[in-house]
Amino acid sequence: MDRVTFTIEPKAPYDQGMTAPEQPFFRGAGEHNRTKDGYRRLLDLREKAALAVVRPRGGVGDPTLEVELLGGGLTDDDAAAAAGQLEWVLGAGQDVKPFYDSTRSDPVMREITERFFGMHLTHSLTVFESLVLAILGQQIAAPVARVVRRLVVETYGPSETFDGVEYFAFPRPEAIQAATVEELRGLKLSQRKAEYVKGIAAAAMDSSGWLEGLKELPEDEVVERLTELRGVGKWSAHWVLTRALGHPDAFPSGDLALQRAVSNLYFRGEKQGEREVENFSERWRPFRAYATAYLFAALRAGLA
């Protein structure tokens, strides 16, 4: 068992306690992925798996992340790959300051950014991961979605035990593709969702590698390609744009919870539909993905 340590310097302001729990795969993913005592995550490094333990040091204005990497036969290349994955997952390199500055004329958003000061947008490591998580989150209550996601991860994800605790990485496409619809239904997926995720796994395994190559394309082409997949509509495509591809201005105006947040915070509860929310979002350009993340954070904190 090797133990490698290194540090990551996130762009300030950065608050690990605000940021890490926003990972959809991480959030509520079980006791083994708690933030107390460090953010822990099993990383899939191709030929091996390694557990990363990330501990914040320094203040929000002067942040450093101390990373401890545990596993067998770890090389310098492994450490470099792990560092790259963690930086992306935790949004460490992101600059939230321009977004904060732009909220000066928006008292509501300004209050939220002050409440969640230092929260960065987290990312998923692959388009495949964000697509599957999107499907599993469609049209069901968030707590239910977490249960289903956790079941899928803990059934098909690569796992390894450290210090008596079993950790999971996100399943590889091969594992989902090989699963039967019946097995997936046993994990509380509907018939349709089971078919959808298997189709997405098949797309991810396509030898052309087009799915993970979408990061090179402009936004509208990404949406066009993704929505050709069965089960993937505009909402899921926008989810991928923000979560996996890190587009700072993507905006899921069709999202019911987002509509609720905008209605409650800006219109005294008067219900705003997709069209209204889309128009209203102009004020947050070109940071609409940030605005969305902060509105969701406010929702989850019971502020809307």
Partner DNA sequence: ACCCAGGCATTGG
Partner DNA sequence: CCAATGCATGGG
The span of 105-113, 140-148, 165-173, 174-182 binding DNA (CB under 7 A) equals 140-148
239 near DNA (CB under 7 A): yes
Q: Which residue has the tokens 């289903």?
A: 148
Q: Is 207 in the site for DNA (CB under 7 A)?
A: no
137 in Cβ contact with 149 (< 8 Å): yes
Q: Name the strand (E) or helix (H) holding 54.
A: strand 48-57
Q: Which is nearer to DNA, 39 or 251 (CB)?
A: 251
Give the three-class secondary structure for 98: helix
Please tell me whether residue 202 binds DNA under the rule CB under 7 A: no
Exactly one of 80, 144, 165, 202 binds DNA (CB under 7 A); that residue is 144
138 binds DNA (CB under 7 A): yes
| % helix, strand, coil for the chain, step of 5 | 50, 15, 40
The minimum distance between CB 157 and DNA, in angstroms, equals 20
The residue within the footprint of DNA, chosen from 202, 256, 279, 285 (CB under 7 A), is 256
Residue (60 or 140) nearer to DNA, CB: 140
Q: Residue 190 interacts with DNA (CB under 7 A)?
A: yes
**Three-state DSSP state, 138:** coil
Q: Per rule CB under 7 A, is residue 53 in the interface with DNA?
A: no
- Our finding on whether 301 is near DNA (CB under 7 A) is no
User: In 3D, which of 27, 15, 29 has the Cα closest to residue 167?
Assistant: 29
Under rule CB under 7 A, residue 255 binds DNA: yes
Distance CA 39, CA 52 (A): 8
Nearer to DNA, 78 or 129 (CB): 129
Q: Binding of DNA at residue 251 (CB under 7 A)?
A: no
Residue ranges in 214-285 assigned as alpha helix (H): 219-226, 234-243, 256-266, 274-280
Report cis status (omega within 30 of 0) of the bond before 173: no
Contact flag: residue 155 with DNA (CB under 7 A): no
Least Å distance between CB 282 and DNA?
Answer: 17
**Of positions 147, 181, 205, 303, contacts DNA by CB under 7 A:** 147
Is residue 181 near DNA by the rule CB under 7 A?
A: no
Which stretches of the chain are DSSP H helices?
16-19, 76-89, 97-102, 107-115, 127-137, 142-156, 173-178, 181-186, 191-204, 219-226, 234-243, 256-266, 274-280, 288-300
| Minimum gap (Å) between residue 203 Cβ and DNA | 12
Q: Are 168 and 161 in contact (CB under 8 A)?
A: no
Of 37-45, 88-96, 201-209, 255-263, the segment contacting DNA by CB under 7 A is 255-263
Q: Site residues (CB under 7 A) for DNA?
A: 24, 134, 137-144, 147, 185, 188-192, 227, 229-237, 239, 254-257, 260, 296, 300
